[in-house]
Amino acid sequence: MSAQASVTATARLHLGFLDMNGGLGRKFGGLGLSLDSPATRLTLTRAPANRVEGPESERAARLLEKAQAALTPDARHSLVVHEAIPAHSGFGSGTQLALAVAAALRRLEDLPHDPAADAAMTSRGARSGLGAGLFATGGVVVDGGRGPQTKTPPVIARAEFPEDWRVLLVSDPTAVGLHGSDEREAFATLPPLSEAASGELCRLVLMQALPALAERELAPFGAAVTRIQEIVGDYFAPAQGGRRYTSAKVEQLVAGLLAEGATGVGQTSWGPTGFAFVESEAAARRLVERFAAAARAQELALTIHSGLNRGARIEAVYARIA
């Protein structure tokens, strides 16, 4: 029996929804990428009573209780969150924390690993299956949206992210993406996306982004992501002050990166984090050096990241038998 379980789950980029129309019986769907950082790291052990400490401890405590009620009703645990993905920044922090807590509990108690079921159990698959899919496999995934009987939207495609490519993130610590009741209201009040726009989004993913990944061609991949972000950004603009981006400062710097050779630009989820893709570490460093002063002047963080082609790391320490 394991004595301790540890999980490391990393941030994801939400590169865009595919269908906010629903005319074919399924809605949303999406394209997403696992990043090497930031990450949520936690450790779970058995204890006489529940105890949770570290960043996001209140949320983690609620998630632990929900997972225990479903999986191990009679067990109690000590949970230490060593670090957490920043909340409400477009990285899927809530989903990764929920899945990490549930995965640690399953590993500690020798239960089968099941991210899709855990997403449904913790109410983290209401619109997107990207979080569960990327937690399981990493890389670039496409989820198939929600149908009438869907619990967690299924992953319908996965691709490796080229190891040489880099992702530039532009973060605004003064802004917060929509979440909670504001997010639910936005989805409830926005009209259906047109069939033509939904069709273009799906075609961009199937016939441009995924083939470009398979052939390791950054230019067509970036062009597809940029166009997806334009369509999705315009759709969500009424909920973001009339802009494609939550943060005007992020939007301005991302535009500068695009003008200087980056591609595949946009905002992950509700932001405020923006992103751009480049072909190499050298290209990423060149752009960071070029825009470092502008980022500092706007109190923005400009950082370099890699894609992650594996799922969450789940490890156990086993007690020795005397």
DSSP H or E segment with residue 251 = helix 248-259
158-172: per-residue pLDDT in tens? Answer: 999 999 999 999 999
Only one residue has tokens 């894609």, namely 307
Average pLDDT value for residue range 44-71: 97
Would you say residue 129 has pLDDT above 60? Answer: yes
221-255: per-residue pLDDT in tens? Answer: 999 999 999 999 999 999 998 999 999 999 999 99
Q: What radius of gyration, in Å, describes the C-alpha atoms of the chain?
A: 20
Q: What is the pLDDT of residue 235?
A: 96
Give me the chain's average pLDDT, please: 95
| β 51-53/77-83 pair status | parallel
Decide: residue 2, CB within 10 A, 0-12 exposed, 13-18 middle, 19+ buried: middle
* φ, ψ of residue 132 in degrees (nearest 5): -70, -40
Average pLDDT value for residue range 143-161: 96
Q: What is the pLDDT of residue 2?
A: 83
Would you say residue 321 has pLDDT above 80? Answer: no
Decide: residue 174, CB within 10 A, 0-12 exposed, 13-18 middle, 19+ buried: exposed
Q: What is the pLDDT of residue 320?
A: 58
Separation between Cα atoms, residue 17 and residue 193, nearest integer Å: 11
Return the structure tokens found at 62: 């609620």
Cα 112 to the center of its chain, rounded Å:
24
Separation between Cα atoms, residue 254 and residue 133, nearest integer Å: 27
Residues 174/175/179/185 CA torsion (nearest 10 deg): 140
In terms of Cα–Cα distance, which of 81, 149, 94, 146 is closest to 122?
94
Query: DSSP for 298-312?
Result: TT-EEEEE-B--S--
Q: 215: helix, coil or strand?
A: coil
